[in-house]
Structure 1
Amino acid sequence: MKALLDFIPLIAFFIGARHSGILAGAGALLIATIIVYAIHFIRQKGKFDKQQWVVLLLTILFCGGTLILRDDIYLRWKSPIINGIFALTLLVSAAINKPLMQLAMKDVFSLTMSGWKKLTIAWALFFAMMGVLHYITAFTMSDEAWINFKTYGWIPIMLVFVIAQFAVLKNYLNPELTNKTTK
């Protein structure tokens, strides 16, 4: 449910940008994000995790800047910066031996500390690559190409990465998880 809700702002951006331009898309993205995060806030009993705070605050900042200054440059920077923050945060967590992917996926995989660090670095590299792709599409391609990539172009890349991750780590699935699914 949470993942499906998170697609609503992207759909709102796509529809707004396609029909009325990038500024309308920024407004639709901002409004949809605030509504979706209000729903998350209620469902999560008045709490956001750090990732949700980063996305919410940067969306308000970049969409707000785009709308107030009537310049889409701010919105174009949103995705590269968010992906860069995630990449840097993951790299730092691995470097200080507190890999964040362990917190996120400990119920799914049973890995050694070295395994968690490698997984965290893999995700950091993925987010860095996505930041570069978002930058390239935002600043070197047409508005249409950027809108398409920002809305749904990154999804197949993410799916391939996640499927590849599970293919590589299938032998490390948490035994408790596999026992639950076979009962």
Structure 2
Amino acid sequence: MKLLLDFFPIVLFFVAFKLWGIYVATGVAIAATVAQIAWLRYSTGKVEPMQWLSLGIIVVFGGATILAHDETFIKWKPTVLYWLMGGALAIGLLGFRKNLLKSVMGAQLELPETAWRAMTWSWVLFFAVMGVLNLWVAFHFDTATWVNFKLFGGLGLMAVFVIGQALYLGRYVKDGKEVPVEKP
């Protein structure tokens, strides 16, 4: 259910774009993201910081798109979000010596520090590449191609990456149980 809720604004953006164009789709994405956050707040009482950040970015970039009647702003939105997420992970490791992925997922998964670091750096690289790829598609192809890439290409690449992460982490899990990790 949570996964469906996470993709709700993207799917509505896609459908609205196909029916009414980029400016209506942008308004729909803003409204859907506000509704998503409101529902999360109502149903769980909690909204994750990244969800607040995503809301802020869609309101700012989507609002600029509608007000300026310039689709350039909405095309930058995924890149900004990717780079902020990757940047937060990198700054956490380099600046604060804190692994944010481990902070979020450590209760569910026990891994050696080297695996946490490798996984975090792979996410940083993935977000950096996705940001560049989004800009390349946005500014080398028409808007319809970019919208298709945003939904199918972006989600497809994310799925492939997550499967790769799962395969990498599989070496630390045996017979349904995690491999014991040496404690310092």
The two structures have a TM-score, normalised by structure 1, of 0.90
Question: How much is the aligned-residue C-alpha RMSD, in angstroms?
Answer: 1.8
Summarize deviations over 1:52-103 as a string: whole Å, max 9, x none.
1110110111111111221111111100100010111111112132111102
Q: Does structure 2 retain, via aligned residues, the 8 Å contact 1:110–1:173?
A: no
TM superposition outliers: structure 1 runs of 4+ over 3 Å: none
Structure with the largest fraction of helix = 1
- Give matches, 1:27-38, under 5 Å: 27-38=27-38
Separation in 2, partners of 1:149, 1:104: 29
Structure 1 stretch 65-74 or stretch 105-114: which is displaced more?
A: 105-114
Query: Displacement, 1:174?
Result: 9.2
Which amino acid is the alignment partner of residue 48 of structure 1?
V
Change in Cα spacing, 1:12 to 1:169, as seen in structure 2 (3 Å) is same
Question: The residue matched to 1:107 in structure 2 has which SS?
Answer: coil
Question: Match for residue 70 of structure 1?
Answer: 69
Q: Percent identity?
A: 32
Distance of 1:174 and 1:134 partners within structure 2: 37
Count of matched residue pairs: 177
Alignment partners' CA distance in 2, 1:149 and 1:40: 27
The answer (yes or no) to whether the contact 1:109–1:173 under 8 Å persists in 2 is no
Query: Are 1:147 and 2:158 counterparts?
Result: no
Structure 1 residue 10 displacement after superposition: 0.9
5+ residue gaps, structure 2, are 179-184
Aligned to 1:92: 91
2-structure distance, mates of 1:83, 1:44: 26
Unaligned runs of 5+ in 1: none
* Structure 2 residue 131 is the aligned partner of structure 1 residue 128: no
Q: Calculate the TM-score normalised by the size of structure 2.
A: 0.89
